[in-house]
Amino acid sequence: MLRYQRTLRSEVYLEGIGLHTGYSVRLRLIPAPPDTGILFRRTDLKNFEIEAIRDYVARVSYATTLMKKGVMISTVEHLLSTLYGLAIDNLYIDLDSMEVPIMDGSGKRFMEEIEKVGIIEQDRLRKYVVIQEPIEVRFGDKFAGVYPDATPKATYTIDFEHKAIGRQEIHLELTPDSYRREIATARTFGFIADVEYLKRSGLIQGGSLENAVVLDHSGIVNNHLRFPDEFVRHKLLDLLGDISLAGYPIIGHLCAEKAGHAMHTALADKIARQKGRHRICTLEDLEPAAVAQNAG
């Protein structure tokens, strides 16, 4: 685990379209001072700021949307996941539209551009949410939870009737290296049968075969999978983006089954509110306790 906070070495500039709005958007990732956190700024609205925290979660239908004083930023989960996975704590995210660009439907392009400029340590200790008691959100056979564990881990399970997906599970120790290898390039997915309904609902206006794995009743419509279990890997990508809204990286075991953005963000909210079940501290705060336990 990392001891110090991190940001980018220099700016990253990206352009793309919003998955749901179809609008063109220009995006800049700008290094920020220690203890800034992740801060969105709408440059088309006089740099209006929205902090990437659970207080501002507004919608979770097919994407995670933040809203503050009526100003929205939609589909934040893939970018936030990349920042969480690569352990970037402080960043200004400037964009000139209401939706983060979808790129190829994964975190791949964000990760590649970030790694081109590099990540630097800052002179401030990194804070963690250390889980001390289980925290769960359940609805029928769906759930999302986090449990005490000395090492950040995640387990995700999905179960779809579609023959190209079926039941898939991934279990991973969460590090920047494992995120790069196993999660960042997993693309979002959707079903042809849902396309017309979603378009009539004003969604996926920018959706295409270039930014999602698309399925029909017989199988995968476009291209090949990047992983045999790319579907569950993308769900874990979504979970990490949504759970980042709890405010700090988590030391504990994240678990989810058949969940989605609504349950992910509900868990982030519950973590932030149930202060008696976790503590916020640095690794230096934890080490005396670990030394004492080993001595015992």
- Residues 253, 261, 264, 278: which is the catalytic one? 261
Rounded Cα distance, 236 and 185, in Å: 12
Q: What pLDDT is stored for residue 207 in this prediction?
A: 66
Q: Where are the domains of the chain?
A: 4-295
Profile the chain (296 residues) by mean pLDDT over runs of 10 residues: 97 91 93 98 98 94 92 97 98 97 96 98 98 97 97 97 94 98 95 69 66 86 90 98 98 97 97 96 82 43
195, 222 contact by CB (below 8 A): no
Per-residue tokens: 41: 């700024």
The DSSP-derived string for 36-76 is --EEEEEGGGTTEEEESSGGGEEE-SSS-EEEETTEEEB--
Rounded Cα distance, 258 and 181, in Å: 23
Report the DSSP beta bridge partners of residue 139: 142
How deeply is 250 buried, as exposed, middle or buried, from its count of CB atoms within 10 A (0-12, 13-18, 19+)? buried
Quote the CATH superfamily of domain 4-295: lpxc deacetylase, domain 2 (3.30.1700.10)
Q: Write the CB contacts of 264 (distance below 8 Å, at least 6 apart in sequence).
A: 60, 64, 144, 238, 239, 242, 243, 256
Q: What amino acid occupies position 84?
A: Y
Q: pTM value? A: 0.93
Determine whether 171 is an active site residue: no
